[in-house]
Amino acid sequence: MAVQTVASTTPVDLGPAAALSCRECGERFELGPIFACASCFGPLEVAYDLPSGDPEGLRKRIEAGPDNIWRYAPLLPVPADVADKPNINPGFTKLVKADNLARELGVTGGLHIKDDSGNPTHSFKDRVVAIAVEAARAFGFTTLSCSSTGNLAGAVGAAAARAGFRSCVFIPHDLEQGKVVMAAVYGGELVGIEGNYDDVNRFCSELIGDPLGEGWGFVNVNLRPYYGEGSKTLAYEICEQLGWKLPDQIVIPIASGSQLTKIDKGLQELIKLGLVEDKPYKIFGAQAEGCSPVSTAFKAGHDVVRPQKPNTIAKSLAIGNPADGPYVLDIARRTGGFVEDVNDEQIVDAIKLLARTEGIFAETAGGVTVGVTRKLLEAGVLDPALTTVVLNTGDGLKTLDAVAPTTGPSATIRPSLDAFRDAGLAG
């Protein structure tokens, strides 16, 4: 693997991050822009020296922090003064008590939507990119990059603009104009690649190993170990917003599976630090039927995830060969959870259900989690008497096409009271 060298005279300061460690063989490496183990090629993740011994003090310090993910700086791979640096400051999004939805679904133990559409570019990607930005700063990178077909492009463009990085984002050349606008409006370079998303990814891998890519931080490749840690903040916020309590059940969408594994990591850290009382919790994964490699493996009892060719409206989850798939299987099984999928019609129904009951217009990924929640409640797999948190990781404004064909006016009438009376809508 090509490791880029960046001139540095002082050791890298990423706060409590102590090293990178291989998720497979445990070998440790110095903090740097690397992402695979030199011994076994396993994925690297951040290992910490976390603060210990004074949970009450730590909790107070967090509560006195800013209303964004930097309140958790002591638990993240970022310098202590991160909140003073220019960054897009995502997080601390609403945990919505979804009482109307709970009534419809028969949940009595408390149903909550963690609504990440409230982030600056309206998806959870702002969380992971914000952490990658600080790593890029620490390693002396000057260009932020990624391959993307949607949410990530906007998150990188916006974060780079605020943080003072050049950005260069790669997309398939035939994306819809709306997505192109969202990716380009922040003024960074946007490069259309003649080919599909796989071609774009292959090209980016080449670029990382080439002198042309020197000084480039690809947020989800050579900065991936840091980037992934951003998802831990979802776990921290959920527990803090529940009054420093673990939920009983969490339903999480699966794309690469990284978000689910990092939420579990975050929950484990909170327990270890004494910030929440230890008790069992169950983690449920949600996929679209048209891209369900993990749920298929789960239900078949397999440990290995067989790749699929995605075909679903839930494009932000359409990763056919999810890198963290096996870890997701482990976590769902260890915690007593489940991995389920819903089809496109069920996704659209669930988007509308959430909008109608709670006034939250979710991206297709939110339709997947709400749809799976409904399906697992009907199957008796989710316990309606337990506290349940469902993630909405994106915004319906970005996937209007999913609901457009079945969402329109109740009636179209002449501007007269008679016409209105005849339409039968006076109610």
Task: Decide if residue 403 touches a copy of itself (CB under 8 A).
Answer: yes
Q: For a copy of itself, give the closer residue by CB, 175 or 255.
A: 175
Task: Decide if residue 355 touches a copy of itself (CB under 8 A).
Answer: yes
Task: Decide if residue 102 touches a copy of itself (CB under 8 A).
Answer: no
Taking CB under 8 A as the binding criterion, the range among 47-55, 295-303, 368-376, 415-423 that sits at the site for a copy of itself is 415-423
Three-class SS of residue 395? Answer: strand
Q: Which of 63, 81, 99, 278 binds a copy of itself (CB under 8 A)?
A: 99
CA 107 – CA 50 distance, rounded (Å):
36
Closest CB 403 distance from a copy of itself, rounded Å: 6
Taking CB under 8 A as the binding criterion, the range among 15-23, 52-60, 330-338, 418-426 that sits at the site for a copy of itself is 418-426
CA 42 – CA 46 distance, rounded (Å):
13
Q: Which of 114, 352, 374, 375 binds a copy of itself (CB under 8 A)?
A: 352
Q: Pull the structure tokens for residue 306.
A: 């067989």
Task: Decide if residue 421 touches a copy of itself (CB under 8 A).
Answer: yes
Closest CB 395 distance from a copy of itself, rounded Å: 7
Task: Decide if residue 300 touches a copy of itself (CB under 8 A).
Answer: no
Sheet with 111-115, side-by-side order of all strands:
95-97, 111-115, 388-392, 249-253, 282-288, 338-342
CA 81 – CA 234 distance, rounded (Å):
21
Closest CB 230 distance from a copy of itself, rounded Å: 16
Task: Decide if residue 193 touches a copy of itself (CB under 8 A).
Answer: yes
**DSSP assigned state of 344:** H
Q: For a copy of itself, give the closer residue by CB, 141 or 298.
A: 141
CA 285 – CA 252 distance, rounded (Å):
5
Task: Decide if residue 259 touches a copy of itself (CB under 8 A).
Answer: no
Q: For a copy of itself, give the closer residue by CB, 25 or 397.
A: 397
Three-class SS of residue 347? Answer: helix
The radius of gyration computed from the CA coordinates of the chain, to the nearest angstrom, equals 22
Closest CB 253 distance from a copy of itself, rounded Å: 20
Task: Let me know: does 237 contact 114? Beta carbons within 8 Å.
Answer: yes
CA 260 – CA 282 distance, rounded (Å):
12
Alpha-helical segments (H) within 19-98: 55-63
Task: Decide if residue 164 touches a copy of itself (CB under 8 A).
Answer: yes
Closest CB 54 distance from a copy of itself, rounded Å: 24
Task: Decide if residue 410 touches a copy of itself (CB under 8 A).
Answer: yes
Compose the 76-95 pattern: x for residues touching a copy of itself by CB under 8 A, - for all others: ----------x-xx--x-x-
Q: Which of 144, 168, 246, 251 binds a copy of itself (CB under 8 A)?
A: 168
Enclosing H/E stretch for 251: strand 249-253
Beta strand pairing status for 388-392 and 249-253? parallel
* Total residues at interface with a copy of itself (CB under 8 A): 84
Task: Decide if residue 162 touches a copy of itself (CB under 8 A).
Answer: yes
Closest CB 174 distance from a copy of itself, rounded Å: 10
Task: Decide if residue 412 touches a copy of itself (CB under 8 A).
Answer: yes
Three-class SS of residue 211? Answer: helix
Q: What are the CB-based long-range contacts (under 8 Å, 24+) for 194-199?
A: 196/172, 197/147, 197/149, 197/172, 199/172
Task: Let me know: does 106 contact 384? Beta carbons within 8 Å.
Answer: yes
